Amino acid sequence: QSCFPSFGVLSGPAEWRAAVICLLGEKPFDKRLIFGERRESSRQESLSLDRHTTHKMSTLWKLTQMCCDIAGNTTPTMNGQHMNEEVVREMRRQTFRDCRAELAKLINETNCHPIMVRLAWHDAGTYDCKTAVGGANGSIRFEPEINHGANAGLKKGLELLQLIKDKFLDVSWADLIQMASATAIELAGGPKIPMKYGRIDAVSGRDCTPEGTLPAGGAPWPGKAKSAPEHLRDIFYRMGLGDKEIVALSGAHTIGRARTDRSGFGAGDECTKFTKGGAKPRGDGKPGMGHAGGQSWTEKWLAFDNSYFKVVKDKVDGDLLALDTDKCLFEDAAFKPFAEKYAASQDDFFKDYAMAHKALSELGSKFIPAEGISIA
């Protein structure tokens, strides 16, 4: 109470009081912004909180929720007063916005768009809609999952994200991974994806799913599949997604490269004319590509557009990659109408891709609050 009298007496264990003091320092706050009366003036005041205050108070909110969970309460309170949920949500929104801004800076500086998309997809793509196991819960950061063959090379993505995680301890790994993917798509010129946040993290390797839940690039196909279309349907139908989502999500191969030491396909340190040093694969024409090597699906493999569908359809260049799971999009009777549509119209592709990406990013996720938090 002597540290910030506007709060009154803070109830709870000594550890909780110490955490609050550590988070908020000695600067007094008007508790009307956090507790009690739901007045319009309080709402307006809350929106004017500076970012430093907002970030710290968002962390306070998360700690309060943890204490409520331990105590068996459903509504966070302090001093016997209910916390103003609208104000707290705005605090969390600002934290997510700040986190997204830091991610954008990292991605632009390191040209790591593709690995961020792959990391998020491989975290979410373990979901089984029948058992409700797996999904976008951040379990990919644990062993044994991160060591699965399909996840080769993704430790680098986690190392990059650790730089952001250290600044935003109250953003879950599950949120951070999915936010990085959506931000990478948008920065590369792709659609704005209507994401929501507030995911609860997996807590240990016990939350990891068995190996073999992600798509393969070529035969022999896992399970009972005898062809590329059968295999894709085995994988994506298990997640609860359909043919349109399969084709739309395949279009994300418009960015990135395949490396033999990661997927077993593409190229290694040897380069194509599109992945050699000095190439400019960014859509904005700026230099930068990361390490040379690998084989890309498209010429501008750091630009998100519908060129993947055009390249696969027309087989325009032998230096560009086309796996069996790519070619089948124009061969399978159910896939082909979507693939043709996206090759003809980038707008149609972006519209369907954004919704498919959103659906994938929420598979198996549990949110606080239950409906999640959207940010502008």
Per residue in 145-180, pLDDT (tens digit) is 999 999 999 999 999 999 999 999 999 999 999 999
Span of 74-83, 219-228, 239-248 with lowest mean pLDDT: 74-83
Interatomic CA distance for residues 61 and 88, integer angstroms? 7
Span of 30-39, 51-60, 284-293 with lowest mean pLDDT: 30-39
Alpha helices per DSSP H over 323-363: 324-327, 336-344, 346-361
Instruction: Single out the residue of 249, 204, 200 nearest to residue 358, CA to CA.
Output: 249
Interatomic CA distance for residues 37 and 371, integer angstroms? 23
- Contact (CB, 8 A) for 260 and 277: no
Please, which residues bridge with residue 225 across strands?
Answer: none
Q: Across all residues in the chain, what is the average pLDDT?
A: 84
| Residue 22 in this model has a pLDDT that exceeds 60 | no
Reported as a pLDDT band with limits 50, 70 and 90, residue 85 is confident
pLDDT in tens, 270-292: 889 999 988 999 998 888 888 88
pLDDT in tens, 339-365: 999 999 999 999 999 999 999 999 999
The per-residue pLDDT for 316 is: 75
Pairing assessment for the beta strands 81-82 and 77-78 based on DSSP bridges: antiparallel
The per-residue pLDDT for 21 is: 46
| Residue 262 in this model has a pLDDT that exceeds 90 | no
Span of 71-80, 198-207, 238-247 with lowest mean pLDDT: 71-80
The H-or-E segment that residue 296 falls in is strand 295-296
| Residue 34 in this model has a pLDDT that exceeds 90 | no
- Over residues 252-262, the mean pLDDT reads 92
Reported as a pLDDT band with limits 50, 70 and 90, residue 90 is confident
Interatomic CA distance for residues 81 and 42, integer angstroms? 15
C-alpha dihedral sign at 176, 181, 182, 187? positive
Reported as a pLDDT band with limits 50, 70 and 90, residue 62 is low
Contacts 24+ apart (CB under 8 A), 147-153: 148/211, 148/214, 149/211, 150/122, 150/211, 150/214, 150/216, 150/263, 151/122, 152/261, 152/262, 152/263, 153/115, 153/259, 153/261, 153/262
| Residue 320 in this model has a pLDDT that exceeds 60 | yes
Phi, psi of 282 (to 5 degrees): -70, 145
- Over residues 285-306, the mean pLDDT reads 92
* Burial (Cβ within 10 Å: 0-12, 13-18, ≥19) of residue 173: buried
Instruction: Single out the residue of 360, 372, 366 nearest to residue 119, CA to CA.
Output: 360
- Tokens standing for residue 199: 């995911």
CATH numeric code, 92-374: 1.10.520.10
The per-residue pLDDT for 32 is: 43
pTM > 0.85: no
Interatomic CA distance for residues 161 and 154, integer angstroms? 11
The per-residue pLDDT for 268 is: 75
Interatomic CA distance for residues 276 and 373, integer angstroms? 41
Span of 4-13, 183-192, 243-252 with lowest mean pLDDT: 4-13
- Over residues 87-110, the mean pLDDT reads 93
- Tokens standing for residue 332: 């399978």
pLDDT in tens, 182-222: 999 999 999 999 999 999 999 999 999 999 999 998 889 99
| Residue 5 in this model has a pLDDT that exceeds 60 | no
- Contact (CB, 8 A) for 300 and 282: yes
- Over residues 364-370, the mean pLDDT reads 96
Does the active-site annotation cover 231?
no
- Catalytic residue among 52, 55, 113, 122, which? 122
Interatomic CA distance for residues 105 and 111, integer angstroms? 10
Q: How do the domains of the chain map onto residue ranges?
A: 92-374
| Residue 4 in this model has a pLDDT that exceeds 70 | no
Instruction: Single out the residue of 275, 122, 105, 291 nearest to residue 184, CA to CA.
Output: 105
DSSP labels for 80-137?
TEEB-HHHHHHHHHHHHHHHHHHHHHHHHHHT-HHHHHHHHHHHHTT-BTTTTB-SSS
